[in-house]
Chain A
Amino acid sequence: MEPGSTRNPLSQLRRGVLEYCVLALLRDSERYAFEIVRTLSDVDGMVTSEGTLYPLLSRLRREKLVSTTWRESEAGPPRRYYVLTAAGRQAVADFGDDWTRFRDAVDSLLGQKGN
């Protein structure tokens, strides 16, 4: 049980949204796991613990939203590079539309102007 998971709506929200953020990061280029995790955790408020992203990546692989290839790296052991599958690309596109609608709706109800 994540601490506070039932009390804090934001952490639930974050969990729902996180996988689409991962997919979005892969829209333009392939990335390796450490890159993905670091980029996300550098964004303020997105990730509380970097390690929890690995189960997420594992699930995205299992759901065939991403596929991976191993590449040699000069820096050390081979790295696992992630790319979007067609299904993954579709999923993040659909989510983008849903999210915009949702965000605007919540903003208007909360009385905040959308940007």
Chain B
Amino acid sequence: MISMKTEKLVEDYLQRLATAARVLPAERRAELVNEIRGHVADAIQAADAADEADVRNVLDRIGDPDEIVAAALDGQPTAPIQRPQFDTLEVAAVLALGLGAIFVPVVGWLVGVILVWISEAWSTRDKVIGTLGPLLLAVVVPIVAQIGRLTLLSSGIGNLGPMESMFVAVAGVGWIGGVLGAIYLAGRLSIATRAEHKRQNVLKIALGIALAGIVLLVFGGVFVALAPMLVR
């Protein structure tokens, strides 16, 4: 007998299995979940499972999802890692994105964006959220701020010129947006925490800082050299 409760039991079980099976290649994972799903259906039918207790017994007999996935891993040399691995490029990208705007306004952030998109570590979805998401902020907030400033002006309080306040708003929000984007992207990386990886991690971080610094210096230099021409 299928009821809402027992259906939920089964779905929860299959969900736990799907989650545990994330360490498997996508194809095998899908195949395994489907086979177990079919088995659950057959087993429930064979046992004439009538209530929650029966279904629980059926699921117990099928076994713990982690055990099933462990059996699937048996003999596999390494489990493919689902979350993006972090490397020197990723460290540099995150630093440039978050801090670049402080040292080299706008251009620094742009450098970060470029580095993020060059990297193969993040999924496209992550990249969009991390770089373009804050960009939306940078566009929307100054508009709101400008409206607010105009309101203030009309009440005689604001004393910044329109261009200056726009610039401050854009730079400020852009920086915050960059920091937010950088934090999001950094959080999406997976960091191997086993002892043998610690030295590698330190190396990656150090090189990443160096790379970010060099890239920002280069672009910053170019920007500073060209800026007078732009202003004129």
Which residues does A use to contact B, with CB under 8 Å? 1-2, 15, 33-34, 37-38, 41, 48-52, 54-59, 75-77
Contact = CB atoms under 8 A, between A and B. Distances in A.
A54 B39 contact: yes
Given A54-B68, A77-B38, A41 B61 contact: yes
Interface stretch (B70-78, B112-120, B145-153): B70-78
B48 interface: no
Contact of B72 (A1, A37, A49, A55): A55
A51 B63 contact: yes
Contacts of A37: 39
A47 to B, nearest CB: 9
A25 B64 CA distance: 25
Given A41-B61, A55-B32, A34 B38 contact: yes
B31 to A, nearest CB: 7
Given A58-B28, A58-B31, A51 B39 contact: yes
B8 to A, nearest CB: 19
B67 A52 contact: yes
B106 interface: no
B32 A38 contact: no
Contact of A51 (B36, B41, B45, B46): B36
A48 B64 CA distance: 10
Interface string B45-69: 1100000000000000111110110
A34 B62 contact: no
Contact of A52 (B28, B31, B45, B71): B71
Given A34-B42, A51-B68, A56-B71, 13 more contacts: A1-B70, A2-B71, A48-B67, A50-B62, A51-B71, A54-B35, A54-B68, A55-B32, A55-B68, A55-B72, A57-B35, A58-B28, A58-B35
